[in-house]
Amino acid sequence: MEVGKEVFMPNHDLIRNDFLRQALACEHLGSPFTARVCRALAAGLTAETRFGQRILDWEGKPESDALPLRAAGALNALARSGRAPELAAVYPPHEADEKTLARAIEKATAAHDDFLEGFLDSAPQTNEVARSSAILGLALHVAKRTGLPLSVHEIGSSAGLNLGFDAYAYELETARWGDPDAAVTIAARWEGALPPLDAKLKVAARKGCDLNPLDAGNAADRERLLAYIWPDQTARLARIEAALSFAARSGTKVEKADAAEWVERHFGGEGKKGEVRLLMHTIVWQYLPKETQARITAAMARAGAHATKDAPVAWISVEADGKDAASACMRLRLWPEGEDVELGRTDFHGRWAKWSSPFDRASVSTSPRFRTI
């Protein structure tokens, strides 16, 4: 054992309980089918297969490692692949009772053990494109406050779908933003003190990094990403497929890099005058090691110390913060002012946002990108 390395001993009850916890989360987020899969795995996992044994003997933290979602993604990938017709027959749009689903999962794990066990290697990369709704709101605040174009940098980009947030159309219940003919449309409910929808938003540059970047133009990468989309959420699946096609046409590429090293490299030194250097991430922070979090925080503090009015630094995030298990915090940090504010809370899948802003907003004006409905 390495000195100083944290080791987690496997605990079968803890792991089964985490599958039950994830089942409740899936139900809350509108996927009763994935909840049933998690419960079937909690009850039926055994060490008779490599897939089951690896899960039950997991040495990391099941929640922070998203272990239930790795397992559910593996089964969905197998069902989508056509290799297991009996499993596909109990997956949406088909219906099956609890016992039939459990039997199909048991047979699939026995017959396709190598495929399923190997799928556990990588953490889920949902790259939920509906979170772009929250990114849009945060970016509009930055644009309004600075009056400058944004140089966007995203960590945990996966396939880079949220990097294209400004090219999407948004239906925000009482308003619309963006080109109505955009390739991707995101519908979300916005409440409260809405962001400045009239702000002039221009993205001058965009970059992303990920430890395991996916290429939207690569069939295998696309299929892996789609396997993590819960199969009974057809509208969500269609939205991700549209975003993948758009990213592929746009030539979006994500750099393979460690998040801390990448942030230190891109936010070191002085920024370009006339642009905002902006760091963004959504539901990524919880998966980063504490050391990585500390390095990124320190790098952004150093960048902020060198920020000026004509070369500001911004940091926007949509992350769990422990205040509410059912929603994420939308947070903005802006330098040289040094402001650090929570601008509201949002659903983890971007279905709604409740905004609360300490900033004074100008009245909303008519704009080609914004109109009331």
pLDDT in tens, 49-68: 999 999 999 988 888 889 99
Over residues 181-195, the mean pLDDT reads 95
Over residues 194-210, the mean pLDDT reads 96
Closest CA to 208 of 293, 278, 128, 283: 278
Residue 4 resides in a domain: no
Tell me how far apart the alpha carbons of residues 284 and 36 are, in angstroms, rounded to a whole number.
26
- Look at residue 191 in the predicted model and tell me its pLDDT: 94
Per-residue pLDDT tens digits for 215-245: 999 999 999 999 999 999 999 999 999 999 9
Over residues 187-194, the mean pLDDT reads 94
Residues 6+ apart with CB under 8 A from 56: 10, 12, 15, 45, 46, 47
Among 119, 154, 169, identify where a domain stops.
119
In this prediction, residue 174 has a pLDDT band, given cuts at 50, 70 and 90, of: confident
Asked if residue 115 and residue 137 are part of one domain, the reply reads no
Among 119, 152, 174, identify where a domain stops.
119
In this prediction, residue 373 has a pLDDT band, given cuts at 50, 70 and 90, of: very low
Q: In this model, does residue 1 exceed pLDDT 50? A: no
Among 119, 141, 176, identify where a domain stops.
119
What predicted TM-score, i.e. pTM, was given to this entire model?
0.85
Asked if residue 157 and residue 107 are part of one domain, the reply reads no
Residue 6 resides in a domain: no
Residue 2 resides in a domain: no
Asked if residue 166 and residue 133 are part of one domain, the reply reads yes
Asked if residue 57 and residue 115 are part of one domain, the reply reads yes
In this prediction, residue 366 has a pLDDT band, given cuts at 50, 70 and 90, of: very low
Q: In this model, does residue 359 exceed pLDDT 80? A: no
Residue 338 resides in a domain: yes
For residue 272, what is the DSSP state?
P
Asked if residue 197 and residue 270 are part of one domain, the reply reads yes
Residue 286 resides in a domain: yes
Mean pLDDT, all residues of the chain: 91
- Look at residue 265 in the predicted model and tell me its pLDDT: 97
Asked if residue 348 and residue 215 are part of one domain, the reply reads yes
Distances (CA, A) of 234 to 124, 170, 229, 347: 19, 19, 9, 18
Residue 3 resides in a domain: no
Domain count, the chain: 2
Tell me how far apart the alpha carbons of residues 55 and 11 are, in angstroms, rounded to a whole number.
10
Asked if residue 355 and residue 288 are part of one domain, the reply reads yes
pLDDT above 70 coverage of the chain, percent: 93
> Which of these ranges, 304-308, 340-344, 355-359, has the smallest mean pLDDT?
355-359
Asked if residue 29 and residue 139 are part of one domain, the reply reads no
Asked if residue 114 and residue 143 are part of one domain, the reply reads no
Per-residue pLDDT tens digits for 251-263: 889 999 999 999 9
In this prediction, residue 94 has a pLDDT band, given cuts at 50, 70 and 90, of: very high
Tell me how far apart the alpha carbons of residues 24 and 36 are, in angstroms, rounded to a whole number.
10
Task: Give the domain extent around 103.
Answer: 12-119
Q: In this model, does residue 48 exceed pLDDT 70? A: yes
Asked if residue 104 and residue 173 are part of one domain, the reply reads no
- Look at residue 311 in the predicted model and tell me its pLDDT: 97
Could you count the other beta carbons within 10 Å of the beta carbon of residue 60? 12
Residue 275 resides in a domain: yes
- Look at residue 6 in the predicted model and tell me its pLDDT: 47
Burial of 300 (0-12, 13-18, 19+ CB in 10 A): buried
Asked if residue 147 and residue 219 are part of one domain, the reply reads yes
Per-residue pLDDT tens digits for 8-45: 445 899 999 999 999 999 999 999 999 999 999 999 99
- Rg (Cα) of the chain, in Å, rounded? 21
Q: How many helices (H) and strands (E) does the chain have?
A: 12, 13
Residue 177 resides in a domain: yes
- Look at residue 312 in the predicted model and tell me its pLDDT: 98
Longest CA–CA span in the chain (Å) reads: 64
Q: In this model, does residue 362 exceed pLDDT 70? A: no
Asked if residue 92 and residue 183 are part of one domain, the reply reads no
Beta bridge partners of residue 177, listed in sequence order: 170, 370
Pick the more confident residue, 317 or 357. Answer: 317
> Which of these ranges, 1-15, 121-135, 350-364, has the smallest mean pLDDT?
1-15
Per-residue pLDDT tens digits for 272-282: 999 999 999 99
